[in-house]
């Protein structure tokens, strides 16, 4: 039954030491959509995303209980390797974090670390870089400077590059944690357009503090508060007629 769900969690709890950051999260998110995760600061949105590729485990105080299934597969299963999981679950952060390498190497980094050197040719890499950068509309701008440092790019281009470098790995799920909060309005709207183009091919979850953004890009929305899911539903309905009093207050901007 969870087969056609991108994300399915059951009684997911997470503790940082003795502080419980996620409480009994039960979620089902369908494939091929953009889902917005909203809620006030500190309610556990980033923590939840970081559960999905198990990057939280690098923090020694973290303890997790409950089940997470992505595309029907238990991510805590015996045969799951973190490398393969993170290949399928791409993550984009609030501050663009390109690696201190060239633009070309950034786009290829995931790919070249996952596949043995013998299994691809230089031409194949070139083709992959071109198609990935084209998908995020950076190709025309950068095609002559592929070997410049990625850290010299403007923030908007850096953020797009951070999306582009996920694509050669063909992720199924892309998680974006406030991807636009370091960008200006132009940058924001071009990232939003990009997400709308990518939807369908990928399932996307975006954390945002920008209600207008959630309405523009997402099909479904999830409202979190103090580590709990308060409400989940179609974005159009939730923003028009929120079921829960707290959701209504948050959306109207009365707290958070």
Partner 1 sequence: MFGLTTHLQNKRRKERRVSFLLGCLTLCLVLPIAFIVGVLLFKGLPAICWEFLAADPIRGMTAGGIFPAIIGTIYLVLLSLLFCVPIGVIAAVYLSEYAADNWFTRAINLAIVNLAGVPSIVHALFGLGAFVLFLKFGTSLLAASATLAVMNLPVVITATRESLEAVPRQFREACWNLGATRWQAIRYVVLPNSLPGILTGVIFAVSRAAGETAPILFTGAVFYKAELPQSILDQCMALSMHLFTLSTQVVGVPEAFPYGTALVLVGIVFAVNTLSIALRFYFRTHRKW
Ligand X SMILES: Nc1ncnc2c1ncn2[C@@H]1O[C@H](COP(=O)(O)OP(=O)(O)OP(=O)(O)O)[C@@H](O)[C@H]1O
Which residue sits closest to Mg ion, CB atoms considered?
46
Q: Which CB sits closer to ligand X, 17 or 200?
A: 17
Least Å distance between CB 29 and ligand X?
17
Q: Which CB sits closer to partner 1, 44 or 110?
A: 110
180 CB contacts (<8 Å, ≥6 apart)? 159, 187, 188, 191, 192, 208, 210, 213
Quick one: which of 83, 140, 144, 245 contacts partner 1 (CB under 8 A)?
A: 83
Least Å distance between CB 1 and partner 1?
28
The answer to whether 179 touches 92, Cβ cutoff 8 Å, is: yes
List the 228-234 sheet strands across, edge first.
89-92, 173-177, 203-207, 34-38, 220-225, 228-234
H-run or E-run covering 130: helix 122-135
Residue ranges of E strands in the chain? 5-16, 19-30, 34-38, 62-70, 73-74, 89-92, 173-177, 203-207, 220-225, 228-234
* Options 38-46, 105-113, 130-138, 213-221: segment touching partner 1 (CB under 8 A): 105-113
Phi-psi region of 72 (alpha: psi -120 to 50; beta: other; left: phi over 0): left
Residue 46 binds Mg ion (CB under 5 A): yes
**Per-position b or e across 123-144, b if 16+ CB within 10 A of its CB:** eebeebbeebbebbebbeebee
Q: Which CB sits closer to ligand X, 135 or 209?
A: 209
Q: Which CB sits closer to ligand X, 134 or 209?
A: 209
Residue 82 binds partner 1 (CB under 8 A): yes
Residue 87 binds partner 1 (CB under 8 A): yes
Residue 229 binds partner 1 (CB under 8 A): no
Quick one: which of 36, 43, 52, 163 contacts ligand X (CB under 6 A)?
A: 43
Quick one: which of 3, 84, 193, 237 contacts partner 1 (CB under 8 A)?
A: 84
* Options 3-11, 14-22, 153-161, 194-202: segment touching ligand X (CB under 6 A): 14-22
Q: Which CB sits closer to ligand X, 15 or 139?
A: 15
Q: What does the DSSP 8-state code read for residue 102?
A: B
Identify the three-state secondary structure at position 176: strand
Residues that bind partner 1 (rule: CB under 8 A) add up to a total of 29
DSSP secondary structure, 53-83, as one string: TTGGGGSTTEEEEEEEEETTEETTSTT--HH
Residue 114 binds partner 1 (CB under 8 A): yes
Residue 21 binds ligand X (CB under 6 A): yes
Q: Which CB sits closer to partner 1, 113 or 234?
A: 113
Structure tokens at 199: 């939807």
Residue 99 binds partner 1 (CB under 8 A): yes
List of residues contacting Mg ion (CB under 5 A)? 46
List of residues contacting ligand X (CB under 6 A)? 16, 19, 21, 39, 41-47, 59
């Amino acid at each position: 039954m969870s087969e056609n769900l991108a994300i399915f969690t059951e009684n997911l709890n997470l503790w940082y030491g003795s502080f419980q950051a996620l409480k009994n999260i039960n979620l089902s998110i369908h494939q091929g959509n953009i889902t917005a995760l909203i809620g006030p600061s500190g309610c556990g949105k980033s923590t939840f995303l970081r559960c999905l590729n198990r990057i939280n485990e690098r923090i020694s105080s973290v303890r997790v209980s409950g089940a997470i299934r992505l595309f029907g597969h238990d991510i805590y299963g015996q045969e799951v390797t973190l490398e393969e999981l993170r290949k399928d679950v791409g993550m984009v952060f609030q501050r663009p974090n390109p690696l201190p390498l060239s633009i070309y190497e950034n786009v290829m980094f995931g790919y070249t670390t996952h596949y043995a050197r013998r299994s691809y040719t230089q031409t194949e890499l070139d083709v992959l870089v071109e198609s990935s950068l084209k998908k995020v509309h950076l190709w025309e701008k950068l095609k002559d400077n592929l070997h410049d440092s990625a850290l010299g790019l403007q923030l908007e281009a850096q953020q797009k590059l951070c999306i582009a470098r996920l694509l050669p790995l063909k992720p199924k799920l892309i998680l974006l944690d406030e991807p636009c909060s370091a960008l200006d309005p132009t940058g924001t709207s071009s990232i939003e357009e990009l997400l709308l183009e990518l939807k369908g091919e990928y399932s996307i979850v975006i954390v945002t503090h920008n209600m207008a953004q959630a309405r523009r890009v997402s099909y479904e929305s999830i409202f979190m508060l103090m580590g709990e899911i308060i409400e989940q539903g179609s974005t159009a309905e939730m923003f028009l007629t929120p079921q829960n009093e707290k959701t209504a207050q948050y959306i109207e901007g009365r707290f958070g």
